[in-house]
């Protein structure tokens, strides 16, 4: 079943995200911008957590989460321990929510915007997993580049 695979992928990548954040030797470097790097690792992590809380937690799991996307990119100097706690919390929300979806749910039509092409819920969940992986790679690069 696709949800079992998605749970494994989200768990794997959220655990790796936690390891990346915890691996910063200097916590201040989570928020460093340099040259053409427009988003810090801290802000990318807040963005990923907000994205998953919104789309999986609130939309599919009815958690009541209210997204404040602007804060995902404007907040600074959030303690590393707070970020790790947010990753842990969203990991549980993602897993518990995905467990509630059945094969019929995955084939339902999903549209983020009124005029956007239609897609299945399954397609959108896979998109969310690749979105996480994309930003995870950026965070890994940021850490290796700036946290010497």
Closest CA to 47 of 122, 125, 117, 138: 138
Question: How far is it, in rounded angstroms, from Cα 52 to Cα 24?
Answer: 23
Cα angle vertex 47, ends 73, 68, to 5°? 70
Question: How far is it, in rounded angstroms, from Cα 57 to Cα 35?
Answer: 35
Q: What is the pLDDT of residue 114?
A: 58
Closest CA to 34 of 147, 137, 146, 148: 146
The CATH homologous superfamily for domain 2-146 is: dinb family like domain (1.20.120.450)
Q: What is the pLDDT of residue 100?
A: 97
What residue ranges do the domains of the chain occupy? 2-146
Question: How far is it, in rounded angstroms, from Cα 126 to Cα 7?
Answer: 11
Q: What is the pLDDT of residue 115?
A: 62
Tens-digit pLDDT string for the chain (148 aa): 589 999 999 999 999 999 999 999 999 999 999 888 899 999 999 999 999 999 999 999 999 999 999 999 999 999 999 999 999 999 999 999 999 999 999 999 997 775 677 899 999 999 999 999 999 999 999 999 988 7
Q: What is the pLDDT of residue 112?
A: 75
Q: What is the pLDDT of residue 35?
A: 85
Report CA Rg, the chain.
16
């Amino acid at each position: 079943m696709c949800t079992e695979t998605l749970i494994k992928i989200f768990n794997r990548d959220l655990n790796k995200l936690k390891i990346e954040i915890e691996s910063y030797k200097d916590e201040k470097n989570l928020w460093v911008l340099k040259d053409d790097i427009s988003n810090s690792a801290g802000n990318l992590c807040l963005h990923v957590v907000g994205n998953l809380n919104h789309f999986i937690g609130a939309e599919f799991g009815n958690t009541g989460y209210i997204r404040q996307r602007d804060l995902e990119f404007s907040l600074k100097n959030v303690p590393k321990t707070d970020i790790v706690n947010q990753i842990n919390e969203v990991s549980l929300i993602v897993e518990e929510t995905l467990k509630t979806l059945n094969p019929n749910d995955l084939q339902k039509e999903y549209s983020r915007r009124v005029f956007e092409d239609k897609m299945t819920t399954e397609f959108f969940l896979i998109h969310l997993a690749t979105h996480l992986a994309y930003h995870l790679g950026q965070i890994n690069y940021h850490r290796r580049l700036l946290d010497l």
